[in-house]
Amino acid sequence: MKLSSVAITAFVILVGASSTNATFSIAAVDQSTGAMGGAGCSCIYNLPQYPPMPFTLYEALYHPVPGKGVFVTQAQPPKSPHAVYKAATKSLKNDAEPKDIISKITSDSVDPGEFFNTGLPNKGVRQYGIVDLKGRADGYTGDEIGDLNVLDGFNSTSVQVYTEKHYSPNANVGPGKNYAYVAQGNIVSLNTVQTMASAFERDDGCDLAGRLFNALNAVDEANKKANATGTTEDNNFEGDVRCEEMNGYPGYQAFVHVDFKDGSAMHLEWIVEFNDWSNKQGIEANNTINPFDKLNEQYKAWRADHDCPPTSGKVRRRASVGSDLGKPWFGW
């Protein structure tokens, strides 16, 4: 779709000011315990010359409905409050099929109009994932996400708008056949979503927290292996493609979150914040820029306090370090 120069300029200013674009995530449930959760990563960072982002990736992406399921929003989700969130929440509460919820929230009646005068329909720049405690799941990726990110400077031949519905509608994942999940990504390398899905399905995650952590961490492990063997230039990079060019890591912020049936939660999060764009290279050189290193430390600390499988979710560990950004409303 060819856009006017005015629309392109306006879009670049808007998106550039918020430093947002791409994300990969996974949402899942454990029917045997009633636990639900999600994990995600993005090459989003906070710079002093731009207004502070009002949401963290976790807050912008993860929307649980207690006792029912999880709704994930990324790419260019609508600003909250919006009819999309109301419709999705109400539908999950009413036990609607995830595929029917997707159809509803991508309808013209719920999400009409175009995105910021670009000529692209709002629903075309959204990405959603839904999974419920009945073991049902579905995902959606708008057809115009690629066009939107080309406007933001990506070469059309290098942009990977990719999602796979690696979910189990019959909740037949794991030895107890009790897990269901949905994984998705946009502007990520081609293997990213499959890597998360494969790791989640492996039996080395003893509970939902372990499986979600393993799923997200597998992307970073794949990168470390590729870096060690010198194969990152052979299309073996995994994660948000913007970070491939910057530092070769999957992203600048990441989280893993689980809501337990008793109302408690596990929360792990690390956010990289640059104090000044001019010293970005110096920060990159000290290896603290990879959020997965800190996320690993946080997970080990949490696991040390919780049996595997955990006997309860009594301890809520909100281990967020680096920056408390709040909530960007689009561009994930």
Please state, in angstroms and rounded to a whole number, the distance separating the CA atoms of residues 137 and 155.
32
What is the CATH classification number for the domain harbouring 242?
A: 3.60.20.10
Residue 209 domain flag: yes
Please state, in angstroms and rounded to a whole number, the distance separating the CA atoms of residues 111 and 144.
15
Residue 156 domain flag: yes
Residue 36 domain flag: yes
Q: Which residues contact 53 (CB under 8 A, 6 or more apart)?
A: 18, 19, 20, 44, 46, 325, 326, 327, 328
Q: For residue 301, give both structure tokens.
A: 């600390």
Q: For residue 230, give both structure tokens.
A: 């010198």
- Which strands form 137-141's sheet, in the order they lie side by side? 62-65, 69-75, 126-132, 137-141
Q: What are the distances in angstroms from CA 319 to CA 24, 62, 295?
A: 21, 17, 9
User: If you search the block for the tokens 């942009």, which residue do you land on?
Assistant: 159
Residue 262 domain flag: yes
Q: Domain of 65?
A: 5-321
Structural domains counted in the chain: 1
- Residue 173, pLDDT score: 61
Residue 328 domain flag: no
- Residue 236, pLDDT score: 62
- Residue 251, pLDDT score: 84
Residue 332 domain flag: no
Let me know: does 319 contact 265? Beta carbons within 8 Å: no
Residue 330 domain flag: no
pLDDT in single tens digits along all 332 residues of the chain: 444 444 443 443 344 333 335 789 999 999 999 999 999 998 876 555 455 566 789 999 999 999 999 999 998 989 888 999 999 999 999 999 999 999 999 999 999 999 988 899 999 999 999 999 998 999 898 988 888 877 766 654 444 444 444 444 444 566 667 899 999 888 887 788 888 988 998 877 789 999 999 999 999 998 888 777 765 554 566 776 667 666 667 888 899 999 999 999 999 998 876 655 445 554 444 445 688 999 999 999 999 999 876 444 433 333 333 333 233 334 56
Q: How many Å from the N-terminal Cα to the C-terminal Cα in the chain? A: 22
Closest CA to 245 of 234, 255, 233, 254: 233
Q: What is the pTM of this model?
A: 0.81
